[in-house]
Amino acid sequence: MEISEVGEFGLIDRLTENLPVHNDSTIKSVGDDAAILRYGADRDLLVSTDLLVEGIHFDLTYVPLKHLGYKAAVVNFSDICAMNGIPRQITVGLGISSRFTVEHIEALYAGIRLACEIYGVDLVGGDTTSSKSGLVISITAIGDCAKGAAVTRNGAHDTDLICVSGDLGAAYMGLQLLEREKIASAGHKDFVPKFEGKEYLIERQLKPEARRDIVEILAKNEIIPTSMIDVSDGLSSELLHLCKEGNCGCRVYEDRIPIDYQTAVMAEELNMNLVTAALNGGEDYELLFTVPLHMHDKVKDLDGIKVIGHITKPELGAALVTRDGSEIQLRAQGFNHMAPVQEVSTEPDNSGDKD
């Protein structure tokens, strides 16, 4: 059987099916944004690993190494935040091909160190080795939360509200812009890319942020979500994860999906469907979560958070409610990490990982 037949998540399911747990300290094993471990009476430990491979997750034609280092760290912080935790430490593993110099790797580490400084995270170890296939980055993030306060994907219930932070689709539009300018630059020695007025899109793609601030806002308002995940592979994909793990359905409303003005302008310029980009683009690293219906008045006015739908009974399925009231079944159409090479260029190039 070809790996592409089952895809990334199908492969993970097969490898981890009936995986035994030998230690009482393992509270939550594989299947979420991070594992939950318990070694003390007051705090739970959160651990997550993310792998980035050159040519699959990033293109060094237009990704500066310092930006890459920053992004590689931040996407791991995001997995800890998606568990309602705060990132504390990381370890970094690198596979380095012979075309990289010391100065190249120092630039990469400058980005990692900057991310650690901004988020208050300690870089506590790692490993390096040679690589025959370009640059490979593996980061393990460690974080914590109050005992029992970790939020997994499987807690959504019928009538829960579906909420999302920030806006969606901008990172994917930034990727399309970078790819367009890469093609346009071919054969031009002094090419100047056309990024004016689209800086936000470029930043969302090259320098995303983990929404630790949303975790802090929820804690300040005494809100513990019933389920949560970060939007790495696209809103549709993440909603289907929550529905599958929680054995439920959902309704998300097209007119409530938060989209930035620059994203809308870029979609029109590229003749792309804006809502499709927001649903399937990925790499936004916003937090998607559910809360009980009675918390509506608490969450509706929180800065940076928008209610976009609600959880339903499983037999109703997962659907997008369009502006005219029609329902369209949600499908996971984001990036497939296990697709054959020739198929990669037709899909959004996202770097989300699901443990």
pLDDT tens, 289-347? 999 999 999 999 999 999 999 999 999 999 999 999 999 999 987 554 445 433 333 23
Gyration radius of the chain's alpha carbons: 20
pLDDT of res. 60: 96
pLDDT of residue 163: 98
35 beta partners: 47
> Backbone dihedral region of 328: left (phi > 0), alpha (psi from -120 to 50 degrees) or beta?
beta
Q: Phi, psi (5° rounding) for residue 318?
A: -110, 125
Spell out the CATH class of 3-146.
Answer: alpha beta
170-185 and 199-206 are packed helices; what angle lies between their axes, rounded to 10 degrees? 100
**pLDDT the model gives residue 349:** 38
Q: Which residue spans of the chain are classified as CATH 3.90.650.10?
A: 161-344
The order of strands in the sheet holding 122-130 is 26-28, 35-37, 43-53, 136-146, 86-96, 122-130
| Parts of the chain belonging to CATH 3.30.1330.10 | 3-146
Please give the CATH topology (third level) of the domain spanning 161-344: Phosphoribosyl-aminoimidazole Synthetase; Chain A, domain 2 (3.90.650)
- pLDDT average per 10 residues of sequence, the chain (355 residues): 67 66 66 74 89 93 96 97 95 92 95 96 90 93 93 96 98 96 87 91 97 96 96 96 96 97 95 93 96 95 96 97 96 59 34 40
- State the pLDDT at residue 353: 42
Q: What's the pLDDT score for residue 34?
A: 72
Q: Nearest-CA neighbor of 224 among 304, 149, 306?
A: 149
